[in-house]
Amino acid sequence: MRIKRGFKARRRRNKVLKLAKGFRGGRSKLFRTAADSVDKALNYAYRDRKARKRDFRQLWITRINAGARMNNVSYSKFIHGLKLAEIDLDRKVLAELAVSDPAAFSQIVSLAATQH
């Protein structure tokens, strides 16, 4: 006896089409093209969740470097000084300080600079 996959197949297709909502043209209407588009979109999303972390770290380092150089210290010497001074602030917090509160950042740089 032949088994038709009516309910299961429809549920699977509808799941893909729901994920393709908002795509243009056949990519949101036709199952085969929608499935390809959804696969690609999910791969991009996975890849870019990792890339976002790299991008933000790079941005924070750039901001910290700019703030440190305003206080006549290079980024690497500043970070090394922080490690020696046992100041455990991450780059996200340091970058925020460098942008929003330059006076406090200058005090941290002076603490780090005295450790050499």
Contact 73, 113 (CB under 8 A): yes
53: left (phi over 0), alpha (psi -120 to 50) or beta: alpha
Q: What are phi and psi of 74, to 5 degrees?
A: -80, 160
Q: Tens digit of pLDDT for each residue in 28-49?
A: 999 999 999 999 999 999 999 9
Give the three-class secondary structure for 115: coil
Q: Tens digit of pLDDT for each residue in 43-68?
A: 999 999 999 999 999 999 999 999 99
Among 14, 15, 20, residue whose Cα is nearest residue 41 = 20
Q: Amino acid identity, residue 3?
A: I
- Distance, CA of 94 to CA of 108 (rounded, Å): 9
Domain 6-113 fold is c-terminal domain of poly(a) binding protein (1.10.1900)
Q: Tens digit of pLDDT for each residue in 82-97?
A: 999 999 999 999 999 9
User: What is the domain partition of the chain in residue ranges?
Assistant: 6-113
